[in-house]
Structure 1
Amino acid sequence: MGPSFEFAVCLLLVVNFMFMAWQLQVHGIGIGHSIGFLRFDQSPEELYPWADGLFWYSDIFFAAVFSLEILIRLVVIGRAFWCHILNWIDFLVVSASWIEFFAEALPFSPTLFLRMVRLGKLLRALRVIRLSRVLESLHLLLKCIVASLQIFFWSVVLLIIIQYCAGMTISYMLSDYMSDASRGSLQQRQEVFRYYGTFSKTALTMFEVLFANWAPACRVLVDNVSEWYSIAFILYRCCVGFAVLNVVNAVFVQSTMRVASVDEELVAAEKAKAQAAYTRRVNALFSEADTSGNGALDLEECRRLLDHPQLQLWLHMLELDTPDLVGLFHMLDDGKGEISLDDLQEGLKRMKGVAKSLDLNKLQHEVAKLHAKVDGLGIQRATQLCL
């Protein structure tokens, strides 16, 4: 399918998810009104009397549109449609949409079944994996996510080990305090137990200390047990929360980008994009320089570029100096006194950037061949003169 078709489907998916979120919002307002929650004084029927009809027609519309999309894919692709797992997911999601309509018409309400069908609609989000072939930025994001899975796994393992070791250490230190009635009041020991009473509570607290608000977990020990715990928490936050996490983030990003940078598809796409941008700049330069409009540049038009500030900037973006442009014209001119757009593009490609070792070796080889021919002609000429 073409890029325009896939992009239109992506927009429809976004609109569909917006409607689903709005429908969930209205449903939540109804729950808040039924339980008497604060500021939920009005029911959804009072706030949005037209919402039920709009949602019903929107569900019909999206189910019909996505059904039509599957039919188009079946006609265009044929049997190959069923060879891709994402197409099966699309088919099941669309089928679930129609099953939901029929289930709602039943005399009884299969609540659990309808809830699972509605959650199944979220599988449409997997379609972005297929659209990544069309949207280059999305393709890059998905490639980087896949490339980060290995480093992500070991980062999680390292952080879990650090967190568990710190949690078990502090849990052992506080066990006597929580069990000894003479160390504090019952309310104080219950408050400490709330954060550090069991291993699961301690592990959750340590993850909260590292990734969320660490002050409450520290304050409960400072106020109820000892102020010396503030030093331990500050050191833990500086060492683990700052140093270790920043190193993990740096390695995570570096490893992800290194893996993504050697991906053949991404490298080819980046080169094609850079080449297309370079070609557009050359075409714009040629159009501005060709004041005569005959589709060719003469020497005067090339010299006129020296007095044009905007074109000077374009030449700099093309990695070309003004003397190089005049020299390029003389190299490309075959005696007609003008060069075409194709000649300019090919010449700029050869002059772009610094000389490579291959270019220098090729030039040295050609000079050596020319030198041998000249020496041979000199010897032949000397032989003829001797005779």
Structure 2
Amino acid sequence: FLRLVRALRGIRVVRLLRYIGALRTIVFSIISTLGSVFWTSLLLVVLFYLFGVLIAQIVTDHCRHVKFQPDSLDCANEEVFGKLLTYWSSVPESMLTLLMAITGGLSWNDALTPLRPISEIAVTGLIAYIVITVLAVLNVVTGVFCNMAIESARADKDIAIMQQIHKHEAQVDSLREIFHEIDLDGSNVITVAELKEAMKGQKMSSFMQSMDISTNDVFTLFMVIDADGSGEITLEEFVYGCMQLQGPAKGLQIARMSYENTVIRKELKQLRADVKKVFYRLEQVRSVSKE
């Protein structure tokens, strides 16, 4: 009992899944495909049985014919007869041969060779089985497994969060490298001239386009990234600005712009009212001065 308890302590290794994202993704992807594995195995067993019964029946009839005619040509070929008994002597043996033919345990040509002298139907059946299982069933099943594994990885919140964090960190590191490449004089700030010069290169332009950032108007891009309006872009401003400009406008950004526009409209309305009051008072002062 104590040995069993000690052995069960190895289950603690499962805790590593919480910290190793790649291993966690693989394990959860495998678990999510277990249902499909069962139904795929059932489908393959049905195929094994159908084709196994067909070929085994043909081989059995042939062996009975050879038994009653020992001087026949096929009976003289002991090697072929031995392979028939090895691969196709019964339905279970035939099913095992069909399984090995698609899993690498046996070359399907070796299983096909002893069938050629006895029946074209058996040869055609084996070829049809190989075509159906290898070119159709297994390829479709592989695609289904891959799709389910991808969906499972996306559905796992922890995995999605970790992938997003890694993606964000990779983008930040890339932006820092680009910043230092643009900063030709090593001043740790970027000027308009440096940004324009960098945009002339294919590398910088392609990098910005990969982040869905337009580079048609470099001056406007500089003004947007230069949050404090100092005329120089620091490393923090460059990273933050590019991350904000990445991709199409987000819902939060649109909502923020709508809110700011509302505030500006209210301020303009108030300013208009104040200007009217000032004009009214000026008119009063002018009328008093005339009197």
TM-score range, shorter chain: 0.7 to 0.9
Contact 2:182–2:194 at 8 Å: present in 1 too?
A: yes
Q: Which residue of 2 aligns with 1:221?
A: 115
Distance 1:381 1:85, change over 3 A: farther
Amino acid in structure 1 at the alignment position of 2:108: W
Tell me how far 1:351 sits from its aligned partner.
0.6
Q: Which has the higher contact order (CA 8 A, sep 6+)?
A: 2
Q: Percent identity?
A: 21
CA displacement, residues 225-262 of structure 1 (integer Å, 9 cap, x when unaligned): 22332222222222223112211111122212221232
From 202, 208, 215, give the equivalent of 2:100.
208
CA displacement, residues 116-155 of structure 1 (integer Å, 9 cap, x when unaligned): xxxxxxxxxx96x665666554444334333332322222
Distance 1:377 1:85, change over 3 A: farther
Distance 1:295 1:199, change over 3 A: same
CA displacement, residues 73-128 of structure 1 (integer Å, 9 cap, x when unaligned): xxxxxxxxxxx9888239xxxxxxxxxxxxxxxxxxxxxxxxxxxxxxxxxxx96x
1:150 aligns with 2:50: no
Q: Which of structures 1 and 2 has the bigger CA Rg?
A: 2
Amino acid in structure 2 at the alignment position of 1:222: R
1:293 aligns with 2:179: no
- Return the TM-score normalized by structure 1: 0.58
Contact 2:215–2:221 at 8 Å: present in 1 too?
A: no
From 159, 164, 185, give the equivalent of 2:44.
159
Structure 2 distance, partners of 1:86, 1:366, is: 64
From 280, 283, 292, give the equivalent of 2:173.
280
Distance 1:271 1:86, change over 3 A: farther
Tell me how far 1:199 sits from its aligned partner.
2.7
Contact 1:151–1:255 at 8 Å: present in 2 too?
A: no
Matched length? 267
Q: Which residue of 1 aligns with 2:284?
A: none
Distance 1:273 1:199, change over 3 A: same
Amino acid in structure 2 at the alignment position of 1:207: L
Secondary structure of 2:190's partner?
strand
Structure 2 distance, partners of 1:166, 1:241, is: 14
Tell me how far 1:196 sits from its aligned partner.
2.1
From 10, 27, 30, give the equivalent of 1:89.
10
> Root-mean-square deviation (CA), in Å?
3.4
Secondary structure of 1:322's partner?
coil
Q: Which residue of 1 aligns with 2:243?
A: 349
Contact 1:281–1:314 at 8 Å: present in 2 too?
A: no
Q: Which residue of 1 aligns with 2:264?
A: 370
1:182 aligns with 2:68: yes
Structure 1 distance, partners of 2:140, 2:230, is: 63
Which stretch of the first structure deviates more once superposed, 352-361 or 183-192? 183-192
Structure 1 distance, partners of 2:134, 2:229, is: 71
User: Would you identify which runs of 4 or more consecutive aligned residues in structure 1 move more than 6 Å?
Assistant: 84-87
Q: Which residue of 1 aligns with 2:285?
A: none
Distance 1:318 1:209, change over 3 A: closer
Amino acid in structure 1 at the alignment position of 2:37: F
Tell me how far 1:324 sits from its aligned partner.
5.4
CA displacement, residues 250-299 of structure 1 (integer Å, 9 cap, x when unaligned): 11222122212322222222211111111112212222333443432333
